[in-house]
Amino acid sequence: MLDVFTTAVSRGLARLSRPALLRWGARVGWFYGHIVRHRRTGALAALRSSLPELSGAEAVAALDGMYRNLATNILEVLRADGGAAEHEESLFSVEGEEHVRAALARGRGALILMAHFGSWELLAAHAAHRGYHLHIVAKQFKNRAVDSLWNRLRQRYGVSVIQAHEAARPVLRALRANALVGFMLDQQRPYGQGVFVQFFGRPACTSPGLAILSSQAQAPVIPVFMHRRADGGHHIRVLPLLAPPPDRTPATVLRCTQRYTTILEREIRAHPSQWIWLHRRWKTQPQPGDPVALPE
């Protein structure tokens, strides 16, 4: 039933012009943020605590932009599924793609440092559209029907999905095949399943998996972000590659995970409305005696 409904919605969205789609994204985002108000209070508190330099009005505007961007993201993915040309080159500008090519020329693949930032699902789909062999490490949605549907959409775009709870071996196989593996590093981990790094001045429990896998495979990490431009298109920003950690000792893994997190923070500071402040990113806190990374 969900597939039938989604197919009908996708076909309907595909008939919309792009300006109309953006207007619908703004309307749905407003409804989600102001009427449904999903986690609005907590998200606004997190944004204000993280960016105290913003005025009250600026913080609210950034939060409203987040809801608008999130709704538009979903509509864009569904519209592309309905057959719309969401990958027209005019919709995308790319900066730094030579870093990806340089990494793949080494023959060990690359791990892509990503976040729930901008249009992250469309970023993965567009990378596959450009001919890159891309896998993404993804957590399961709590709703199994939604999880099945969303993974089907990803695979239709040419993106392979690696389940996060059993990722190590598939990731290493993909890297040996000189593929790209997207790794989200902006979600909190339960106590005992992460390391504590500084994120906006507060300890945040973070997966050590990116640093460990990079060291084990000797594959570089490439930070890649896509934010929405003022005209509704997208700008993809590829940063210079980060060399694999020299070892997998706890101190090295902690230091590298902090480095990756600092890069995420800088990108979010530059475009605060593009990150999903709905995450309870600081839910897990360290206990006395737990190592916490020093800020870079």
In this predicted structure, what is the pLDDT of residue 211? 98
pTM of the model: 0.93
Q: Report pLDDT digits (tens) over 160-204.
A: 889 888 899 999 999 999 999 999 999 999 999 999 999 999 999
Q: What is the dihedral of CA 156, 160, 165, 171, to 10 degrees?
A: 180
Report the chain's mean pLDDT, rounded to a whole number. 92
Phi, psi of 156 (to 5 degrees): -65, -30
DSSP state letters, 165-192: GG-HHHHHHHHHTT-EEEEE--S---TT
Question: Any idea what the Cα angle at residue 16 is, between residues 10 and 21, rounded to 5°?
Answer: 85
In this predicted structure, what is the pLDDT of residue 165? 83
Confidence grade of residue 20 (pLDDT, cut at 50, 70, 90):
very high
Averaged pLDDT, 39-48:
97
Amino acid at 254: L
Percent of the chain with pLDDT over 70: 96
Largest CA distance in the chain: 58
Does the pLDDT of residue 91 top 70, yes or no? yes
Averaged pLDDT, 118-132:
89
Please state, in angstroms and rounded to a whole number, the distance separating the CA atoms of residues 73 and 69: 6
In this predicted structure, what is the pLDDT of residue 44? 98
